[in-house]
Amino acid sequence: MIHNAHSGRIYDTAIVGAGVLGLWAALHAARRGEKVIVLEKRKIGAGASGGFLGALMPHMPDNWNAKKQMQFDGLESLEHVVAELEEQTGIDCGYRRCGRVMPVTNEKLIGQIERRILGAKDHWQSKYSMSVSNASSLSPELNPEIATHGIQHDTLSARINPRQYLMALGFNVRKSCDLKEGADVVSIEPASDQVDVVLKDGSRIVAGNVIVANGYEAYELLRPFMADMNNGKTIGRGVKGQAVLLEYKHDDTMPVYYHDGSYIVPQKNNRIAIGSTSVNDWSEQAPDGFDYNNMDFYHRAIQLVPALKDARIIDRWAGVRPRNTLENRGTEPFFETVPGQKRLHALIGGFKITLGIAHLERNFS
């Protein structure tokens, strides 16, 4: 343990960022008996974690690799993790293993889908499947002019209400950790036996270890320590996404629909979430500013499920997601100790899959 001379507090671990990765890191550390503080620049879920899309979809199960195995482990176990969280907090996280439907738009895709079906049999532990069937038999809402050759369906995909999920996580974190919102971290100063975290107001938090989990803003914070990993280039960039929330009466038996970059995610209480975009050049926009001129994702979704065309838009969301650009590692998540800094760790990346894997415990070494 490290004594903080500036505040009189003792912390084993300080975590920067109160999104889904930071909150789970805090809970895991607290369960190990550590004294933990979470430092959040704005408020819980203010970044990419705090949207409302909530799609939990696996990568395709052919060409299996370690990343796909990690994602499967996360998606397979999350149902039980959420049930326990709901029991502890009394907060409904809106989880349902609803499956995913994707239209098959041409005959050339059939061979590729057959390989995916075999991959699912090999790697999804026989609990979940992938299949091809007639569109009208499973998804009468789907536009038959798009699903000309049927549908691809999997039973592993799920959905969750991210905001309710974060509320439940925050409830538990506040019980077992110190959580400071409005704490803007401007720099990190590692030493041999401790790490100083410097806040914008000039105060310092001293801890035995620091975990940086503040989304795309982690890139600038970690740049002094990770630039050598990438030949001096940036280690990642923020990619802006946005979504809309519709009011649409449904019985909550619909699957997630996905096609051509658009997600349709049925949420509870007669809500449908539609997303999303991937905008690299957003520097002239506010990170959370909604671009009304970038609604193609919504129009594609309406074409896919025409019944949604008269549904009222009741909310809009925009936010920036982290996308790693590490040399020889591409967009792979970086859930590791920072090279050369045994007390500094990072949880960044996991582009579009973070929500389904954040609860997996990491052993930093």
CA 47 to chain centroid: 10
Q: What is the pLDDT of residue 326?
A: 87
The total number of structural domains in the chain stands at 2
Inside any domain, residue 54: no
Say what the pLDDT of residue 364 is.
Answer: 85
User: Are 31 and 139 within one domain?
Assistant: no
The answer to whether 26 and 49 are in contact (CB under 8 A) is no
Q: Residues 320, 331: one domain?
A: no
CA distance 66 to 308: 38
In a domain, 92, yes or no: no
> What was the pLDDT predicted at 8?
42
Strand-pairing partners, residue 315, are 245
Residues in CB range of 177: below 8 A, 6 or more apart? 26, 27, 29, 30, 36, 37, 38
- Identify the domain containing residue 345 by its residue range: 2-49+164-232+327-357
- Output the six-digit token pair for 39: 């430092």
What CATH number did the domain enclosing 117 receive?
Answer: 3.30.9.10
CA pair distance 278, 85, nearest whole angstrom = 31
Query: Quick check: is 56 in a domain?
Result: no
Residue 201 within any structural domain of the chain? yes
Check whether the bond before 139 is cis (ω within 30° of 0).
no
Q: What are the pLDDT tens digits along the chain (365 aa)?
A: 544 544 445 899 999 999 999 999 999 999 999 999 999 999 999 999 999 999 999 999 999 999 999 999 999 999 999 999 999 999 999 999 999 999 999 999 999 999 999 999 999 998 999 999 887 766 788 999 999 999 999 999 999 999 999 999 999 999 999 999 999 999 999 999 999 999 999 999 999 999 999 999 999 999 999 988 878 778 899 999 999 999 999 999 999 999 999 999 999 999 999 999 999 999 888 999 999 999 999 999 999 999 999 999 999 999 999 999 988 888 889 999 999 999 999 999 888 899 999 999 998 86
Q: Residue 87 and residue 23: Cα distance in Å, rounded?
A: 18
Contact (CB, 8 A) for 78 and 158: yes
55 part of a folded domain: no
d(CA 62, CA 360): 23
335 and 283 within one domain? no
Is 58 inside any structural domain? no
Number of other residues whose CB lies within 10 A of the CB of residue 32: 11
Same domain? For 275 and 311 the reply is yes
In the three-class reduction of DSSP (H, G, I as helix; E, B as strand; rest coil), residue 45 is classed as: coil
CB neighbour burial string for 302-338, b if at least 16 within 10 angstroms, e if fewer = bbbbeebeebeeeeebbbbbbbbebeeeebebbbebb
Identify whether residues 240 and 151 lie together within a single domain: yes
Instruction: Give me the helices (H) in the chain, please.
Output: 20-31, 66-89, 109-123, 135-138, 162-176, 218-226, 296-304, 354-357
Residue 246 counted as domain residue: yes
- 256 and 319 part of one domain: yes
Decide: 66 and 281 in contact? Cβ < 8 Å. no
One domain for residues 226 and 248: no
Give yes or no: residues 227 and 352 share one domain.
yes
Q: Is residue 17 part of a domain?
A: yes
Name the residue among 327, 325, 328, 365 with its Cα closest to residue 349: 325
